[in-house]
């Protein structure tokens, strides 16, 4: 079943107060979108951040993984920079899937990593606390966030 039909059915269930949790076919469709994507764009022009994402995604699917290659600094001026960075990539590429990472909200709020489809719909994501709290290197934080985001939807990263 295509994602649009699954979404439509879930909306209808919610309106009738008959939605009682996720369904296996919904999860399977999200997994399929990521695992079968041909082109994944990472919404960054930072080589270090890109390499972390590339290394992980290369372990779970055979997609062409590309760096956006344009600055997403303007997204930091928005209320939810991680989402805005992803939407920049959705709007400016022909990616099947976009991976973005940035601030959750205001400065100091921590970070958010999102995996989105080509329409900008969020498939999964993960958050980290402020770097002042966790004190991890950015590469380690991205690795953890992406691994968690994938595991949330049942995609395990090979070690």
Residues 69-92 have pLDDT tens digits of 899 999 999 999 999 999 999 999
CA Rg, the chain, in Å?
Answer: 16
In angstroms, the CA 95 to CA 11 distance is 26
Task: Looking at 36-130, list the stretches that DSSP marks H as alpha helix, in order from N- to C-terminal side.
Answer: 47-60, 81-92
Residue with tokens 């076919």: 25
pTM score: 0.96
CATH architecture of 37-151: 3-Layer(aba) Sandwich (3.40)
Which among 56, 1, 10, 55 is positioned nearest to 33, based on CA atoms? 1
Q: What is the pLDDT of residues 13-66, one digit of tens each?
A: 999 999 999 999 999 999 999 999 999 999 999 999 999 999 999 999 999 999
Q: Which helix (H) or strand (E) holds 100?
A: strand 97-103
């Amino acid at each position: 079943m295509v994602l649009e039909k699954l979404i439509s059915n879930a909306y209808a269930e919610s309106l009738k107060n008959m939605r009682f949790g996720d369904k296996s076919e919904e999860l399977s469709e999200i997994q399929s979108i990521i695992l079968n994507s041909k082109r994944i764009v990472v919404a960054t022009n930072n080589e270090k951040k890109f390499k972390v994402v590339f290394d992980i995604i290369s372990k779970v699917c055979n997609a062409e993984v590309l760096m956006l290659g344009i600055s997403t600094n303007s997204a930091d001026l928005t209320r939810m920079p991680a989402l805005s960075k992803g939407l920049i990539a959705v709007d400016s590429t022909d990616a099947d899937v976009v991976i973005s990472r940035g601030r959750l909200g205001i400065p100091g709020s921590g970070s958010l990593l999102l995996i989105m489809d080509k329409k900008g719909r969020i498939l999964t994501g993960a958050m980290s606390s402020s770097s002042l709290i966790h004190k991890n290197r950015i590469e380690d934080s991205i690795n953890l966030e992406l691994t968690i985001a994938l595991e949330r939807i049942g995609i395990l990263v090979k070690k």
